[in-house]
């Protein structure tokens, strides 16, 4: 059996039990054991969307229809009435509209878009999907009001693309996480060994008085040690070497109304 080690908040790992978990503020542990995943998984009943299947086959009157499908089985879709979609994470589907000029056979034509989106939503619910994601480029923004009319809401936007989402279980609370809840910053305590002095900087805009540690925001995909060394170099021209994290400050209501995690290194 997996063994719980310690009571510290955060991530723990028990290699002997082959499991990991996260301790929440209420001191509740959640476990995942790789050995149990396959035996506990359940296949959902296969849905039939091709015209060749009768309602009796769907209800299970046909003995062949009662057999559990393999994980690779896919229903047959009528793409004349649906928008093209792909499987997405956490049992959802995703529709991606290309950033290109519409053609005569464009599946996202503005005249049929809302009807096709409605049918795709119904199909997703029949498949017991959790959510439907829709990515719309700025060049096709005329389609956004139709998606909004069917209940989709903005989740995030980046550069020239907006991503909308709809949680498909109206009687259950949405489990879709908010986008970009935090930004991450770093500050450097740079010590000059011969003099035992600490490096400080003063900004021209007088945002800090009178001195502050060199530092800034961590870039997307950047490691903390890389970020703090880069920020010191960009702000002072001093080459440094990362040693350790000294502490973390967690504050709210910062840039763009988001929370901030600030690592002092």
Positions marked catalytic = 234
Other beta carbons less than 10 A from residue 26's beta carbon: 5
18 CB-near residues (< 8 Å, 6+ apart):
2, 33, 34, 35
SS (H, E, C) the chain: CCCCCCCCCEEEEECCCCEEEEECCCCCEEEECHHHHHHHCCCCCCCCCCCCCCHHHHHCCCHHHHCCCCCCCCCCCCCCCCCCCEEECCCEEEEECCCCCCCCCCCCCCCCHHHHHHHHHHHHHHCCCCEEEEEEEHHHHHHHHHHHHCCCEEEEEECCEEEEEEECCCCCCCCCCCCCCEEEEEECCCEECCCCEECCECCCCCCCCCCECCEEECCCCCCHHHHHHHHHHHHHCCCCCCCCCCEEEEECCCHHHCEEEEEEC
59 CB-near residues (< 8 Å, 6+ apart):
none
Identify which of 214, 191, 192 has the alpha carbon closest to the alpha carbon of residue 202: 214
């Amino acid at each position: 059996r997996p063994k719980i080690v310690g009571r510290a908040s955060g991530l723990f790992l028990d290699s002997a039990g082959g499991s990991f978990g996260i301790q929440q503020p209420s001191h509740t542990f959640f476990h995942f054991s790789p050995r149990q995943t396959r035996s506990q998984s359940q296949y959902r009943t296969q849905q039939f969307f091709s015209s060749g299947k009768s309602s009796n086959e769907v209800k299970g009157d046909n003995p062949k229809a009662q057999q559990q499908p393999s994980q690779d089985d896919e229903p047959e879709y009528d793409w004349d009435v649906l928008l093209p979609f792909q499987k997405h994470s956490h049992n959802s589907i995703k529709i991606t509209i290309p950033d290109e000029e519409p053609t005569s056979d464009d599946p996202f034509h503005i005249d049929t878009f809302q009807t096709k989106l409605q049918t795709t939503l119904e199909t997703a619910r029949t498949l017991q999907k959790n959510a439907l994601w829709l990515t719309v480029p700025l060049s096709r923004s005329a389609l956004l009001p139709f998606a909004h009319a069917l209940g989709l809401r903005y989740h995030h936007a980046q550069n020239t693309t907006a991503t909308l989402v709809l949680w498909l279980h109206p009687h259950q609370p949405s489990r879709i996480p908010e986008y970009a809840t935090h930004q991450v910053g770093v500050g450097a305590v740079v010590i000059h060994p011969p003099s035992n002095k600490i490096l400080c900087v003063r900004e021209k805009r007088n945002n800090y008085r009178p001195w502050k540690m060199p530092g800034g925001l961590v870039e997307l995909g950047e490691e903390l040690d890389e970020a703090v060394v880069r920020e010191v170099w960009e702000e002072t021209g001093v080459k440094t070497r990362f040693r350790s994290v000294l502490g973390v400050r967690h504050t709210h209501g910062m840039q763009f109304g988001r929370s901030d995690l600030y690592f002092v290194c």
